Copies of this chain bind each other. A is one copy, B any other.
Amino acid sequence: MDFVFANPTKVYFGTSQLPHLPEELLKFGRKVLLVYGGGSIKKNGLYGRITSLLEEQGLKLFELSGVEPNPRHTTVNRGVQICRREGVDVLLAVGGGSTIDCAKGIAATVFADTDDVWELVEGKQSIGRTLPLVTVLTLAATGSEMDCGAVLSNVPLNIKSGLIHESLFPAVSFEDPSITSSVPAYQTASGSADIITHILDVAYLSKPRQMEMLRNIQEEVLRTVIKFTPVALREPDNYEARANLMWASSWALNNFMYCGVQQCPILHAIEHELSAHYDITHGHGLAILTPRYLKYILNAATAPVIARLGVQCLGVDAALTEHQAATATIEAISKLYFETFGLSSTLSSLGIDDSRFERMAQACCHGLFAPDGQLHALADLSAQDVVEILKLSL
């Protein structure tokens, strides 16, 4: 149960904080690379507010726009070139996890001895000095605003993989829940599924014993997301709901929740294959996989953990037998994702068929989390098991 906890990210939370953005950037210099996605920040006015604020304070802005929902290593590499050419002092990512992850890729590569972030992803180059990163979060989902990981896609290779390094925590993140009022229902729902899965996958459904306080807090954050997502879907402007979801997203993956847990995020390992091959929305992929995974691993050994999840977080009757309660938990998760959240329930609805299942299963059982060819968490999964779970999800 021994662990090291450290999280240096400073968070400004609330509706009144954006005016602090220039002073935080100026701690690192005047030349800023603004990184953003498909332009929703232009529609909702955030782009204008930020550029005005920064230009008033004499900051010089460069731009990398069009970051993809599954950010590509080639986009990262474009950002690296801009930073080197212009002598950028600090990165400003304005967006959700994809945009922030892209910026982390840039931060890691600018001072490296390569033009290609993928060499760092593959471990051919190690991460040394990094460019500082400030973020303005626009979507409650990935937790990237307060963690030190980045997930990037190599489209030609069909690989989604990542960087994890203690120097990749954002220096400062701005979280204004009111910005997320304009997030569409589908992205809100997928983001919440991502938050829930972080807690399940990285902490709650892990093998070793955990500190009781932390397991209870995991349940508390799960209950928060389960309660407030429908509120945000019904009333997109509900500040209380948006604030709870946003702060939950940061704490679901910022190291606190899984102190002392030996991590093997099985659902993420499988979903990264789906996103790498089909470029789907990460949280939606996780939602489809979760109940099938739980059903597949349900046995006498796993039932107590799955049952507890349902009883504590999903209104499952504590009087049921463990196996009954676990089954009811899986049903409740399906109902939550596919009815309450309104997400479609099958991989085929996302245009995915079984043609690449074998290849994906082999890849995720020979990656970062499966050095011995199996994934080890609450249950142990071989590549064949992964194929079965994917088939159940079709």
Contact A12–B7 (Cβ < 8 Å): no
A240's nearest neighbour on chain B, judged by CB, is: B212
A61 on the B face (CB < 8 A): no
Contact B10–A247 (Cβ < 8 Å): no
A214's nearest neighbour on chain B, judged by CB, is: B247
Q: Which of A121-152 contact B (CB under 8 A)?
A: none
Residues of B with C-beta under 8 A to A4: 10-13, 17
Residues of B with C-beta under 8 A to A212: 224, 227-228, 240, 244
Contact B2–A244 (Cβ < 8 Å): no
Residues of B with C-beta under 8 A to A213: 220-221, 224, 244, 247-248
A211 on the B face (CB < 8 A): yes
Task: Describe A's contact surface by its main secondary structure.
Answer: mixed
Contact A17–B5 (Cβ < 8 Å): no
CA distance A244 to B260 in the complex (A): 12
A378 on the B face (CB < 8 A): no
Report the 5 A-B pairs with minimum CB-CB distance, sorted nearest first.
A2-B14, A6-B10, A213-B224, A5-B11, A216-B220
Contact (A13, B3) CB under 8 Å given A213-B220, A221-B213, A244-B212 = yes
CA distance A244 to B1 in the complex (A): 11
Q: How far is the CB of A7 from chain B (nearest CB, A)?
A: 7
A82 on the B face (CB < 8 A): no
Q: How far is the CB of A2 from chain B (nearest CB, A)?
A: 3
Residues of B with C-beta under 8 A to A224: 212-213, 216
A1's nearest neighbour on chain B, judged by CB, is: B14
Contact A243–B211 (Cβ < 8 Å): yes
A15 on the B face (CB < 8 A): yes
The residue in A5, A8, A247 that gathers the most chain B C-beta atoms within 10 A of its C-beta is A5
A59 on the B face (CB < 8 A): no
A259 on the B face (CB < 8 A): yes
A177's nearest neighbour on chain B, judged by CB, is: B1
A164 on the B face (CB < 8 A): no
Residues of B with C-beta under 8 A to A7: 7
Question: Residue-by-residue, is A214-247 near B (CB-CB < 8 Å gives 1, otherwise 0)?
Answer: 1011001101100110000000000010011001
Contact (A247, B221) CB under 8 Å given A13-B4, A14-B1, A212-B240 = no
A16 on the B face (CB < 8 A): yes
Contact B14–A3 (Cβ < 8 Å): yes
Contact (A211, B3) CB under 8 Å given A216-B220, A217-B217 = no
A166's nearest neighbour on chain B, judged by CB, is: B10
A–B complex contacts, Cβ < 8 Å, 25 sampled? A1-B14, A2-B13, A2-B14, A2-B16, A2-B17, A3-B14, A4-B10, A4-B13, A5-B13, A6-B8, A6-B10, A8-B8, A13-B260, A14-B260, A211-B243, A211-B247, A212-B224, A212-B227, A212-B228, A213-B220, A213-B221, A213-B224, A213-B248, A216-B223, A220-B220
